[in-house]
Structure 1
């Protein structure tokens, strides 16, 4: 028996809400799922927590300190924006991250190699003790990735 689109959409939304509650200890305000003619979309509303709930930490200060850490060995990002989607996750978006040499290697097809080396360098640059002092929280893990064709990167910090 084939499920109708609407019941499949409802099931998907229920699963997403449950996953959010499992991982973030709270769910979004609402989740809308749409499945139509080969397209699948998810609209999540009212999930970001107001910044004032996050240890009175100044976003600009976090962004500046992370830029300074990266600039020790790599091109300083042209811009950085930090987001706190939950009490335990910080997402940092950097743009203008590639230097001329990196762009040339990517153009020549060495994308995987550039990612491996940049990840190794950036992970070494992250001074976890300093970040923990700044955030007043323990940093459990740092994930790093880039979208080279958009000249941007993301860092995800999992914190206590």
Structure 2
């Protein structure tokens, strides 16, 4: 099956699964498969009960509930990509912008080739890395490494490794992974200077998403750009 057909079929599948699990599906689902990465961007995704909680400024409760539902949904998504497209996904990450009613799911494709040459070809890449390093330094510490991949005209993915400090590792070992992740996500989004990124990328940033793999001391930042 060719890539465009896979992306179309999996968009329909993911939309249905989200609707079945959350009670309301997104109005649009965009699946992109590029090199070693899969991204799923959803728009207009907020269930009626979630809308009430967000209106009451209880975003944390929505995020905690979505975490529980995603734990059930992720194995189904991985199995479907394997069965339909022969794509084996190693790990899935996700984040939401409740105010924009959007979200992103990031998948790492097993044995997928990282197009390192292509990733270095976009304009002002080093300046993007400098802004991400600045944000990371303010939040915890400068990452050991930063790589970025312009997957398509709308999706920039930034991978950081080696960002956890000692107190964060201790909190993870003590079972506080979820509250740490929610707190880090809120902090880093506040510290990320979007106007700087828009200036160096010469595009408007519509959404920013963050997730972590604490076991591997790795983080992914996805910027959704306006073409």
User: Mind listing any 5+ residue stretches in structure 1 that lack a counterpart?
Assistant: 1-9
User: Mind listing any 5+ residue stretches in structure 2 that lack a counterpart?
Assistant: 12-28, 35-80, 89-108
Q: CA separation in 1, counterparts of 2:168 and 2:119?
A: 35
- Please give the residue correspondences for 1:11-160 in structure 2 after superposition, counting only pairs within 5 Å: 15-18=5-8, 23=30, 35=83, 41-42=86-87, 50=118, 54=122, 57-160=123-226
Q: CA separation in 2, counterparts of 1:124 and 1:151?
A: 21
Q: CA separation in 2, counterparts of 1:120 and 1:52?
A: 29
Q: CA separation in 2, counterparts of 1:79 and 1:102?
A: 18
CA spacing shift, 1:108–1:133, aligned 2, 3 Å: same
Task: Please say if residues 131 and 192 of structure 2, whose CA atoms lie closer than 8 Å, have aligned partners that are also in contact.
Answer: no
Quote the residue 2:47 is aligned against: none
Quote the residue 2:71 is aligned against: none
Task: Please say if residues 124 and 200 of structure 2, whose CA atoms lie closer than 8 Å, have aligned partners that are also in contact.
Answer: no
CA spacing shift, 1:63–1:19, aligned 2, 3 Å: farther
Who wins on radius of gyration, i.e. which is larger? 1
Task: Please say if residues 194 and 205 of structure 2, whose CA atoms lie closer than 8 Å, have aligned partners that are also in contact.
Answer: yes
RMSD, aligned α-carbons: 3.6
Normalized against structure 2, the TM-score is what? 0.52
1:84 Cα offset (Å): 0.7
Count, aligned residues: 140
Q: CA separation in 1, counterparts of 2:215 and 2:186?
A: 20
Q: CA separation in 2, counterparts of 1:100 and 1:51?
A: 31
CA spacing shift, 1:51–1:145, aligned 2, 3 Å: closer
Task: Please say if residues 20 and 27 of structure 1, whose CA atoms lie closer than 8 Å, have aligned partners that are also in contact.
Answer: no
1:14 Cα offset (Å): 6.5
Normalized against structure 1, the TM-score is what? 0.71
